């Protein structure tokens, strides 16, 4: 089992920035592709970004490119999501998820993931 704990969410004004963290424990972190999803009120959970096991290959949902940056530190068993130029539409609960194996196109599907964090709330005010 992999345990995931997100942190770093909060209240921010439009145009501001936040960095989310997700700390993993329980298994070899570098065995897992790591991803971020988000779920806005009344909506489905959407893919945000993923990063390969080595951390060399990020992959983003088209709408996130240019504003969000995913990274990981395998020595710290942590994955990050740096968010900038935030908009009210970015308001959501942000979840990290772990997928055993390489980064493949299926990473955009939440059904592929076995391990999820509890989520961290991000609220962007106008």
Mean pLDDT by 10 residues, the chain (126 residues): 96 98 95 97 96 97 93 98 97 97 91 95 97
Question: What pLDDT, on a 0 to 100 scale, did the predictor assign at position 14?
Answer: 98
Strand pairing class (68-73; 10-13) = unpaired
Phi/psi of residue 17, each to 5°? -130, 155
Question: What pLDDT, on a 0 to 100 scale, did the predictor assign at position 35?
Answer: 98
Question: What pLDDT, on a 0 to 100 scale, did the predictor assign at position 32?
Answer: 97
Question: What pLDDT, on a 0 to 100 scale, did the predictor assign at position 82?
Answer: 98
Q: Is 7 helix (H, G, I), strand (E, B) or coil?
A: strand
Question: What pLDDT, on a 0 to 100 scale, did the predictor assign at position 28?
Answer: 93
Torsion of Cα atoms, 111 then 117 then 118 then 121, to 10°: -100
Question: What pLDDT, on a 0 to 100 scale, did the predictor assign at position 1?
Answer: 85
Chain CA centroid to CA 108, Å: 11
């Amino acid at each position: 089992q992999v345990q995931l704990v997100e942190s770093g969410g909060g209240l921010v004004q439009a145009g501001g920035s936040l960095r989310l963290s997700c700390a993993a424990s329980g298994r070899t972190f570098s065995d897992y592709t790591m991803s971020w999803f988000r779920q806005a009120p009344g909506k489905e959970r959407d893919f945000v970004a993923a990063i390969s096991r080595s951390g060399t290959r990020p992959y983003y949902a088209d709408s996130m490119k240019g504003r969000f940056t995913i990274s990981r530190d395998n020595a710290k068993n942590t994955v990050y999501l740096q968010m900038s130029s935030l908009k009210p539409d970015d308001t959501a609960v942000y979840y990290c998820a772990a997928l055993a194996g390489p980064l493949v196109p299926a990473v955009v599907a939440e059904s592929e993931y076995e391990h999820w964090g509890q989520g961290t709330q991000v609220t962007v005010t106008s």
